[in-house]
A and B are shown apart, each in its own frame.
Chain A
Amino acid sequence: MMQMLFYILKRFAIMAPVLLGATFVSFLLLRLTPVDPAKAYLSVSNIIPTEQTINAVRAQLGLDRPFWPQYGHWLWQLCRLDFGTSFFSKLSVSRELVARLPVTATLALLSLAIAIIISIPLGIAAALRKNHLIDHVCRLLAFLGASVPQFWLAYLLIYFLSVKLNWFPLQGADSWLHFVLPSVTLAFALIATYSRLLRTGLLESLDEPFVLYARARGIGTFTVVGRHVLRHAIRPVVTAAGMNLGKLFAGTVIVEQIFSMPGIGVFFLESVYHRDYPVIQSFIFITVVVFVLGNLAADVIQAYLDPRLTQETGKGE
């Protein structure tokens, strides 16, 4: 237990330089882009840029100061969990994110949950009934999941389940019902990946001598799979899910756009078009945090499944 705690603390210690590096790189890269956010603001506002207006906007946005003071100021604000003020909405980025984060987080976690809940029985069934109907169905699902574009699936779901059958609302994020179609859209590709990963892992583990020995002792298939085999076979799925959490968080934009969900995906996309530096920097920072925490969570679960992974030396390293 102490070993696990020490392992988690060590991982947290490594997070700090990673996050600092991410803030600096994103800050620097944005300022190296050839477009002036002041001009972007004028262009979006449909204002003919004159020298006077450009200077007025630059002063308003604090872009007339040198690089290091700008970076230092932003970092200092970040330490106090203040993400600055949006160039465009003139509102606090923290407030905007707090208002939008629940939508995106719910969408990402719900998609992941749906994907895991469906892909585990699907993967087990496909492995246990190799080359039977259920396996072929899973293969077809995996093929579709990998090849159907997300936006197209979203439109199909909207057209049939919302417009034609009126089962689900078409846009918004006011109730849990609004999350069903977008979550299914996001989960579809994940189900394909996870179920195939699990199937492969299970098939490998089912060939292990300990499975043969367990069966020889008269233990039933379900018990063998549930208690022994799944523990090994699910590890690649845990790793993938940990990676996907960050990906989902950063990749909900298309689904949010189509389903008119006021999450941070759409907010970020607009900020990129507008060169809204404070929002872009904040989004990158949060995404890095989610990626790091997602990987950490995956590693902790892996360590729980195989404690050797937390040892400094030995087989698990």
Chain B
Amino acid sequence: MFRKFKGLYISFIFVLLLPVILAGCKTDLNKNTESSVKSEGQTPASTEKTLTISWPKDIGPLNPHEYTPNEFFAQGMYYEPLIDYGEGGKLVPRLAESWDISQDGKVYTFHLRKNVKFTDGSDFDANVVQKNFHTILANRNMHSWLGLISQIDKTEVVDAHTFKVTLKNRYYPALQEFAVVRPLRFLGAAGFPADGDTAKGIKKPITTGPWVLSEYKKDKIAVFTRNENYWGTKPKINKLVVKVIPDGEARVLALEKGDIDLIYGEGVISLDSFVNLRDSGKFETSVSNPVASRALIVNTAKGPFADLNVRLALQHAVNKRALVDGVTNGVEKVADTIISSNFPYANVGLKPYDYNVEEAKALLDKAGWTLPAGKTVREKNGKPLEIELVYMGPDQIEKPMAAAIQSDLKQIGVSLKTTGVERELRNKRMESADFDLLFWNTYGAPYDPHSFVSTNYEKGYGIFESQQGLPMKDKLHQQMKDVLLTVDEKERQKLYTSIFTTLHEQAVYLPISYLTNIAVYPKYVKGLKFPAHRDETPFSMLDIQK
């Protein structure tokens, strides 16, 4: 019988073995591919230190003044600001050596660093700073989300190394906002298009920064080479290769295979994978200090949460420790306050709400929500205590957290409906304050706490609307506006203390955890230190010692 169909069997086995046969022929091809990447450096391979990382998306066109599809991390590592955001929110010089602020708090004079060159050899001076400000302010509407841009009245070149910015009003976060990644970073004059409007694109990414883009294949790879003429501390590695790997698990496999040397960022791999890599013993892992907060916005404007006692009951009913340990494997940190105390003005000594089921029950009883005999859900005037939590459906953290909160609230007789929607629909529901509880993250460093307060008093974003049930809402929102105009440090701290205390006592947020950046890397990668700035990266500080 076999003889009869011998040809058929042999053909079939050959087809099945074809991939294996092909695999035997591929080794050289792989080598060729790798060497083609390696041959693009500026230094010989023997002395070259190359760090390969992955990113979920393409780096984009590296336009310092624009948004998507420009990736934050790439703009942040490539271009430089006048001022840097350091540890604990301390502002440190970068392209500006120093600065003066006028008595009335409206005029900022920057003394620019001398002998700084762009990668094309041109000088960094006040004229090029002015050119950058011109194009940014020409698109003021697009950048109006940043308070500083809305406040700029005029800019002026005083001399080659002195640049003046005049504001319409006092605006204390101005200095902090000079440190943001976009749009206030500087492109060399030759990189501008003919009409000078970078909103339409740039000619070439010319920077003063530590890296030069030396190779780029859209959606595949970007290679950055060390800028040998960099004015500051040069990176220890010669080359940084960024591979586009959209899938988190594929990124983990790439690290295990040795195709990449570092996984870095926020939410770039699942936290289960992070823990597995950590426990494998093959890699070093690090977790940063808090960079932003994960919280629930509590809608005081309608439903059961209009009552303070119900809001306080929520604070005591949710077991945050179990949430953070169970869902994030302890990678995120338990949050007791909406803004972490390592942020400027946020260390105001607020007393955390403890996890106390009995206290939560007592508060609900006090609010008139009692548990009828034989029922599991509390009622008031015959109406059951039912609330809705809106979360982002595809989010790997919010979904399990929503389920855990549902189970916590069940214990105190609250029926929680969890609704998972995709990001844009969730934004829509937030803007219209169409929720009882909603997952939300703060903007983090360097935007907080000032961006946080402006999102609280600005109409149309959803938070202002969710605070309409507060008896002191007008006073609170006025304080939020005032704090941005203060020039007196003591007065500013006093206002922030009052704002944070009111938000905490009124329980308008349920802080859950503090977001962190993670890093996973082999032992030969040295010198990792997380920047305080949420959108900055540590690549220029890293070394490779194999």
Name A residues whose Cβ lies closer than 8 Å to a Cβ of B: 34-35, 39-53, 55-57, 60, 88-90, 99-100, 117-118, 121-122, 124-125, 128-129, 155, 158-159, 161-163, 165-172, 174-175, 177, 180, 184, 221-222, 257-260, 262, 266, 273-275
Name which of B154-162, B205-213, B420-428 contacts chain A: B420-428
Which residue of A is nearest B4, CB measured?
A: A221
CB–CB A45/B4 < 8 A: no
Which residue of A is nearest B144, CB measured?
A: A52
Pick from A41, A56, A221, A274: contact of B141, CB below 8 A: A56
CB–CB A170/B11 < 8 A: no
- Tell me the minimal C-beta distance from A226 to chain B in angstroms: 11
Name B residues whose Cβ lies closer than 8 Å to a Cβ of A: 4-5, 7-9, 11-12, 15-16, 19-20, 22-23, 26, 29-30, 33, 60, 67-69, 72, 139, 141-145, 201, 218-220, 243-247, 249-250, 253-254, 256-257, 259, 422-425, 427-428, 431, 443, 451, 454-455, 458, 460-461
CB–CB A275/B259 < 8 A: no
Pick from A89, A163, A266: contact of B257, CB below 8 A: A163
- A158: chain B residues at CB < 8 Å are 250, 253
6 contacts between A and B (CB under 8 A): A34-B425, A50-B144, A90-B201, A170-B254, A170-B259, A262-B219
Q: Secondary structure of the A side of the interface?
A: helix
CB–CB A125/B141 < 8 A: no
- B254: chain A residues at CB < 8 Å are 170-171
- Tell me the minimal C-beta distance from B390 to chain A in angstroms: 14
CB–CB B11/A49 < 8 A: no
- Tell me the minimal C-beta distance from B341 to chain A in angstroms: 24
Instruction: Tell me the bound Cα distance from A50 to B424 in angstroms.
Output: 16
Instruction: Tell me the bound Cα distance from A180 to B454 in angstroms.
Output: 53
Known contacts: A169-B30, A221-B4. The answer to whether A162 contacts B253 by CB under 8 A is: yes
CB–CB A169/B33 < 8 A: yes
CB–CB B424/A35 < 8 A: yes
Which residue of B is nearest A51, CB measured?
A: B460
- Tell me the minimal C-beta distance from B26 to chain A in angstroms: 5
User: Nearest 10 pairs between A and B by C-beta?
Assistant: A45-B67, A167-B23, A262-B219, A56-B141, A35-B424, A48-B145, A52-B144, A121-B12, A45-B68, A163-B257
- A50: chain B residues at CB < 8 Å are 144-145, 458, 460
- B60: chain A residues at CB < 8 Å are 89
CB–CB B245/A171 < 8 A: yes
Pick from B19, B139, B460: contact of A180, CB below 8 A: B19
Most buried by A among B11, B19, B425: B19
Which residue of B is nearest A132, CB measured?
A: B1
Instruction: Tell me the bound Cα distance from A262 to B431 in angstroms.
Output: 35
CB–CB A273/B67 < 8 A: no
Pick from B8, B33, B144, B425: contact of A35, CB below 8 A: B425
CB–CB A52/B257 < 8 A: no
Known contacts: A39-B424, A159-B253, A262-B244. The answer to whether A49 contacts B69 by CB under 8 A is: no
Pick from A49, A55, A56, A257: contact of B461, CB below 8 A: A49
- B143: chain A residues at CB < 8 Å are 53
Known contacts: A44-B68, A53-B141, A275-B424. The answer to whether A125 contacts B9 by CB under 8 A is: yes
- Tell me the minimal C-beta distance from B143 to chain A in angstroms: 8
Instruction: Tell me the bound Cα distance from A259 to B428 in angstroms.
Output: 33
- A275: chain B residues at CB < 8 Å are 424
- B22: chain A residues at CB < 8 Å are 177, 180
- B257: chain A residues at CB < 8 Å are 162-163, 166, 170
Known contacts: A88-B69, A161-B23. The answer to whether A43 contacts B423 by CB under 8 A is: yes
CB–CB A121/B458 < 8 A: no
Instruction: Tell me the bound Cα distance from A252 to B68 in angstroms.
Output: 25
Which residue of B is nearest A57, CB measured?
A: B142
- B72: chain A residues at CB < 8 Å are 46
Known contacts: A49-B461, A53-B145. The answer to whether A163 contacts B246 by CB under 8 A is: no
CB–CB A48/B67 < 8 A: no
CB–CB B220/A170 < 8 A: no
- B144: chain A residues at CB < 8 Å are 50, 52-53, 56
Instruction: Tell me the bound Cα distance from A56 to B67 in angstroms.
Output: 13
- A44: chain B residues at CB < 8 Å are 68
CB–CB A41/B220 < 8 A: no
CB–CB A41/B12 < 8 A: no
Pick from A100, A117, A180, A260: contact of B246, CB below 8 A: A260
Please give 14 more A-B residue pairs, beta carbons under 8 A apart, in addition to A53-B145, A184-B19, A260-B245: A39-B427, A49-B461, A50-B144, A52-B141, A88-B68, A99-B218, A118-B16, A122-B12, A124-B8, A159-B253, A165-B23, A169-B30, A170-B257, A257-B247
Most buried by B among A47, A51, A88, A122: A47
Known contacts: A53-B144, A53-B145. The answer to whether A121 contacts B15 by CB under 8 A is: yes
Which residue of B is nearest A164, CB measured?
A: B257
- Tell me the minimal C-beta distance from A37 to chain B in angstroms: 9
- Tell me the minimal C-beta distance from A134 to chain B in angstroms: 8
- A171: chain B residues at CB < 8 Å are 243, 245, 250, 254, 259
- Tell me the minimal C-beta distance from A315 to chain B in angstroms: 33
Instruction: Tell me the bound Cα distance from A175 to B256 in angstroms.
Output: 22
- A121: chain B residues at CB < 8 Å are 8, 11-12, 15
- B220: chain A residues at CB < 8 Å are 172, 174, 262
Which residue of A is nearest B11, CB measured?
A: A121
